[in-house]
Amino acid sequence: MTKLDALLDWYATMTPDTIARAGQLYAADAHFRDPFNDVRGVAKIETIMRHMFANTEHPHFIIGERFVQGQQAFATWTFVCTLRGRVYEIAGASHFRFNEEGLVTLHRDYWDAAEELLQKLPVVGAPIRWLRRKLSATA
């Protein structure tokens, strides 16, 4: 099993009880960034994962494509969760950099928060959908 496989398997099967495995996969000073977070260190990465389980129901990742080139990797995924009784699916991708020990030093998530989440929310979504229609060349 490659370092990327181990990492993605952890994400695909993560539970509140397995969050503590982050220290086996991430370097102590690893940098994690997504549209809502920008943190350094395993403890802060674990805090983000605990927050995910505390604020959503049934969160899980479905892993798609994966590519490795040297000490870097890229993977696509779909994050699925329930929030206030509604199921959300967020498509995204992650860029990873690994150190010589095979630990993640950089984890950068790329996903469009407006398209994948905000425009799907009842109150916030209407103005975002309107703006997307106004700015679309194909509308």
Average pLDDT of span 35-40: 93
Number of H helices, E strands in the chain: 5, 6
Number of domains in the chain: 1
94: domain range?
Answer: 3-111
Residue 65: give its domain's CATH number.
Answer: 3.10.450.50
| Dihedral (CA of 8, 11, 12, 14) sign | positive
- The predicted-structure confidence for 68-115, as pLDDT tens digits, reads as follows 999 999 999 999 999 888 898 889 999 999 999 999 999 999 987 655
Q: What are the start-end ranges of the H helices in 58-121?
A: 113-116
Residue 97 lies in a domain: yes
3-state SS of 20-31 is: HHHHHHEEEEEE
Confidence band for 120, pLDDT divided at 50, 70 and 90: low
pTM above 0.85, yes or no: no
Mean pLDDT of the chain: 88
User: Rounded to whole angstroms, how far apart are CA atoms 117 and 45?
Assistant: 21
User: Rounded to whole angstroms, how far apart are CA atoms 32 and 34?
Assistant: 7
